[in-house]
Amino acid sequence: MGLSAFFVFDAFTEFFSAFTALAVAYYAIKAHRVLEDSRMLALNLGFAILGAGMLIHGGIKVKVALAVLSGIKTPPARMMPVVRIGYLVAFATQFAAYILILIAMFLGERRLEESLLIPPLALPLIEYDARTESLLALLAAVIALRTGLSYSESDSRWTALVAAGFALLALSHALLVFGGPRLLVTADISRLLGFACLLWMLVGVSRVGE
């Protein structure tokens, strides 16, 4: 069984999304200089970690995609050990990023019990496994809800963009939970739009301070 067009699209989209995430990290530190908000530091570190993980995962998949497009036969990509390792790295970095951002948001308000959020996982992970994507969807949804509540209090367009960004990230994970590979393209687009919302907010905040 050859590599599907969906995998090729996903590979290159994730690789591009990784650079978008790193751009979010870059502008988060610029926004921190303007706002002097510790949450921007968490966003910077979180998306730097997330972007690095996605870059590794996406890079592995792009390499596999290019090899197959060159005519090299390969087993189903999702079951390849190297792709599984890449997804494990991507999952771990996304999980760490979301937890870091949540801690920054809830610091001083409530204690974040990370252990309650971690279900038993079977390793090695299968790419876009429903259990791991459910966990990431939950974390992103909590961040979106928290920023949404902040928007209702502040009525700030920047806060609205953050809420929209994480809502789109939560949606991208949820699509993979309920639709699996069939909704991979839609999930990729949703994730990219989520990153774009966050990048838009950070660029806007940085320019206000110039």
Per-domain residue ranges for the chain? 5-111+125-208
Q: Is the pLDDT of residue 1 over 50?
A: no
State the pLDDT at residue 107.
Answer: 67
pLDDT band (50, 70, 90) for residue 167:
very high
d(CA 196, CA 21): 9
State the pLDDT at residue 209.
Answer: 55
Specify whether the backbone of 42 is left (phi greater than 0), alpha (psi in -120 to 50) or beta: alpha
SS3 call for 163: helix
Q: Which of 23, 29, 16, 42 is nearest to 106 (CA)?
A: 42
Distance of alpha carbon 32 from its chain centroid, rounded? 21
State the pLDDT at residue 123.
Answer: 43
Q: Is the pLDDT of residue 45 over 50?
A: yes
Mean pLDDT of the chain: 81
Q: Which residue has the higher pLDDT, 6 or 125?
A: 6
Give this prediction's pTM. 0.77
Locate 131 and state its tokens: 């259990």
